[in-house]
Structure 1
Amino acid sequence: MEIPGDRRLAAAVVMDEQGRLLLVRRSERERFLPRVWGVPCGKLEPGESPGDGALRELKEETGLLGEVVCKVGESSFVSDYRGHEVKNWQDNFLVRPLTRHVTLPEPDQAYAWLAPSRLTTVDIDAYNLDIVRQALTNS
């Protein structure tokens, strides 16, 4: 069994022209944080830049096209891979949407465009809340 080394990830904090943020609720079938609200993010492909990865994850998870405005920060967490600790390093980007029609991959998912003052009206975890706060502070 091959144990992965550090993993690189990227997140897209999408903000529209009204200053609303896009949050997506994960499917109940997800192994990691089912039904929790957060920003589109995921692992980078081999050779992929973090900015390109954030835009690819945005497209895969919401159907939206976007453009990176700026990098707003970094996050890290430890996860378990078959009994082994893996360190995850994530680059976080503020993204401007270029399209509007959100298409979610799973029927039990949901999305919401929320003003920053309304973020805590959904079940967002502290990790995703910190990513959003990075975007609000550093954009």
Structure 2
Amino acid sequence: MDIPGDRRLAAAVVMDDRERVLLVRRSEKERFLPRVWGVPCGKLEPGECPEDGVLRELKEETGLRGVVVRKVGESSFLSEYRGHEIKNWQDNFLVSPLPGQIVLPEPDQDSRWLHRSELTDVDIDEYNLDVVLQAFTHS
């Protein structure tokens, strides 16, 4: 059986020139945090640097391209895979979006641009909220 070890991830806090952050609602089909709002994030490919991975994940999850502004922090969390605990290590980046249309992979997903004061208007979990606040703290 293929049991993964620690996982490396990268998250994009996408902030526009009006200091609004892009949040995406996960599909109800997701095993992990279905229908919860958060930032574009995902696993790095083998040998992929976090800066490249975060831009790839942004494109895959939103259809947007962007430019990494800076790394704003790190996060970690535990998850489970086939009965085994996995430690997830995540690099968090502030990303400036390039012009384009948001295209979400699943029809039941949604996206919103929110100011800092509006972040808790959606069902965002504490973990994703902390990731977003890292970008504001380090600006």
Into which bin does the TM-score normalised by the smaller protein fall? Answer: over 0.9
CA displacement, residues 105-130 of structure 1 (integer Å, 9 cap, x when unaligned): 00000000000000000000000000
Q: Please tell me the residue identity of whatever aligns with 2:95.
A: V
Q: Counterpart in 2 of 1:37?
A: 37
Query: Post-superposition shift, 1:3?
Result: 1.5
1:59-99 CA-partner distances (Å, limit 9, x unpaired): 00000000000000000001111111110000000000012
Q: What is the rounded CA distance, in whole Å, between the counterparts of 2:100 and 2:115 in structure 1?
A: 17
User: Counterpart in 1 of 2:13?
Assistant: 13
CA distance in 2, matches of 1:80, 1:33: 13
Q: Matches of 2:35 and 2:53 in 1, distance apart?
A: 23
Q: Which residue of 2 aligns with 1:89?
A: 89
Normalized against structure 1, the TM-score is what? 0.98
> Which amino acid in the other structure matches residue 75 of structure 1?
S
Partner of 2:117: 117
- The within-5 A match list for 1:17-28 is 17-28=17-28
Q: CA RMSD in A?
A: 0.6
Distance, in Å, in 2 between the alignment partners of 1:125 and 1:9 is: 18
Q: Which residue of 1 aligns with 2:71?
A: 71
TM-score between the two structures when normalised by the length of structure 2: 0.98
Structure 1: 4+ residue segments shifted above 4 A: none
Matched residue, 2:129 = 129
- Structure 2 unmatched runs, 5+: none
Shift of residue 2, structure 1, vs aligned partner: 2.2
**Count of equivalent residues:** 139
1:102: which partner in 2?
102
Q: Following TM superposition, by how much is the alpha carbon of 1:55 offset from its aligned partner in structure 2, in angstroms?
A: 0.5
